[in-house]
Structure 1
């Protein structure tokens, strides 16, 4: 039985693993993305996270391809009421920033691509220093009042700006955010000390860490830096092997020990550790193929003991 949880103070209930849509329309084409989405839902998942900018960085892509694929899949499977969908605004080439007119237009564009009448969770993707925060808070709340957005989230904000957003919302009678999306995993633990965890606790925000597997390093994929680069010299591999220092090897050794005890892959242990951290609602993971999904889905049922959690935490200290 897959455990479900509520996102912050919202009425959204989800399984505790989020499927990231950043690879859809990029390294996973339409048909592959459909297969991944089918397998994710069949395995107990029900929450998909994307952004209007995905994957504008890829050659020949303009942004929005991920949303369009997800929207087509939702329609084909009749799954709109069974899957919670999150997307983001602020960095699409045609909708940059969080000014009122831009957010309104971007939300409408996302709704068209998703083929939906509402966005379940709508994030401000990055803070916009050129737009007064009061303006951004107001337009997000307006979208909720209009029925286009059900709940609000913030991503890549500092703790101070998260608190400021919430203070403005309370003072102005606007809808408060319910979710936070930070960079956080077993080898990137600044979230615990930079004030964001305290802000999430204070405001009751559901937390969805991205880069949950540290570019694949916490899946145990990259253990030999020379081999990793030689196998393809991908940017992902180069990013991951930077963790292969003495601390990183201690983390991998601890992960191997716990994985062996449970008979699961290292990735499942990494995600279970993250899911069991204070304030975390669900880690976000991406899969380019269905073959990558089983160890990710296995984390849904994996509960680590206090001693196992402490061993992993100590290894990454």
Structure 2
């Protein structure tokens, strides 16, 4: 799959971002290395993490994922061959987006990642207590200092996003190049509407998270199925809705006709949506990774996309 790239600002990225939220959680260090090796061997280079991953695990503080990725890059000597996206604002030790917190958090992430620059630096969650002017000025300083190449945003209300973009343009500061929204076949209004409109207007690249709806869109959650997963509860909720059942039926039909997996079709649908540059999905084993990679080569017809869009309405 080498040679398949998309653009985020000045960054060239593989059109599937590998989620690092499982590293240090459901994937230990050795398993994480195997997944990372398999992803890069297939041509992948766009790895996503956050300073908060995985603080929700008992005994973890956050930063475990960054540490694993940093050690892996050092062992493989491939820092220049991968695009690393990480985030600030949600770690228990570095919560919020005050200028002082951003300044401290980026240094912590650089240390854990064993690098002197971050390719794509997201605000993980907006902090309404801090004026957008202060946030954008702080992020611009990181770019000017060479610690960050491009900046991006994840969970934010449209009004604050627009104010941030307008301030950056007015003052000639670094501007968000990407948005990472919650978006998939069973969660569309979390992005479609004002956020997508702003992404189109300002040329933001979308890197949607929960591409597989916590595993529901892999097709493994069916009535009566017993799935051993940390996310089974959340994914199982989709199965109870009429919409979830419609989406599964449409995915089954398209997957059968295309000779593809349900997960591949779900990710390919996401990749076909306006503004989306690289769907984001994680894999806790090499076996789970393959359907995600297959989605990159899966070219759905306009009829396929329309059928899935209608089923998920």
Partner of residue 280, structure 1: 276
Q: Which residue, out of 300, 305, 310, partners 2:306? A: 310
Give the secondary-structure state (helix, strand or coil) at the position aligned to 2:81.
coil
Aligned residues: 311
Give the secondary-structure state (helix, strand or coil) at the position aligned to 1:130.
coil
Deviation at 1:139, TM superposition (A): 0.3
1:191·1:197 contact (CA, 8 Å) conserved in 2? no
TM-score scaled by structure 1?
A: 0.96
Partner of residue 174, structure 2: 175
How many angstroms apart in 2 are the aligned matches of 1:59 and 1:188?
29
Deviation at 1:102, TM superposition (A): 0.7
Per-residue deviation, residues 26-72 of structure 1 (Å, max 9, x unmatched):
11111110000000111221100000010011011011010010001
Taking a change above 3 Å as real, the CA distance of residues 126 and 305 of structure 1, as seen in their structure-2 partners, is same
Per-residue deviation, residues 77-98 of structure 1 (Å, max 9, x unmatched):
1111111000000011111111
Partner of residue 237, structure 2: 242
Deviation at 1:192, TM superposition (A): 4.8
How many angstroms apart in 1 are the aligned matches of 2:171 and 2:310?
43
Give the secondary-structure state (helix, strand or coil) at the position aligned to 2:22.
coil
Deviation at 1:235, TM superposition (A): 5.1
How many angstroms apart in 1 are the aligned matches of 2:20 and 2:257?
32
2:182·2:191 contact (CA, 8 Å) conserved in 1? no
Q: Is 2:264 aligned against 1:263?
A: no
Partner of residue 47, structure 2: 48
In the TM superposition, 1:21-40 aligns within 5 A as 21-40=20-39
Q: Which moved more, 1:305-314 or 1:241-250?
A: 241-250
Q: Which moved more, 1:180-189 or 1:125-134?
A: 125-134
1:127·1:157 contact (CA, 8 Å) conserved in 2? yes
In the TM superposition, 1:83-122 aligns within 5 A as 83-122=82-121
Give unpaired runs (5+ residues) of structure 2. Answer: none
Deviation at 1:188, TM superposition (A): 0.4
Q: Is 2:8 aligned against 1:13?
A: no
Per-residue deviation, residues 162-211 of structure 1 (Å, max 9, x unmatched):
11101111222211110001000011001454400000001100001000
RMSD: 1.2
Give the secondary-structure state (helix, strand or coil) at the position aligned to 1:59.
coil
2:181·2:191 contact (CA, 8 Å) conserved in 1? no
Partner of residue 289, structure 2: 293
How many angstroms apart in 1 are the aligned matches of 2:172 and 2:290?
44
How many angstroms apart in 2 are the aligned matches of 1:74 and 1:202?
36
| Regions of 4+ moved over 3 Å | 191-194
1:44·1:297 contact (CA, 8 Å) conserved in 2? no
Give unpaired runs (5+ residues) of structure 1. Answer: none
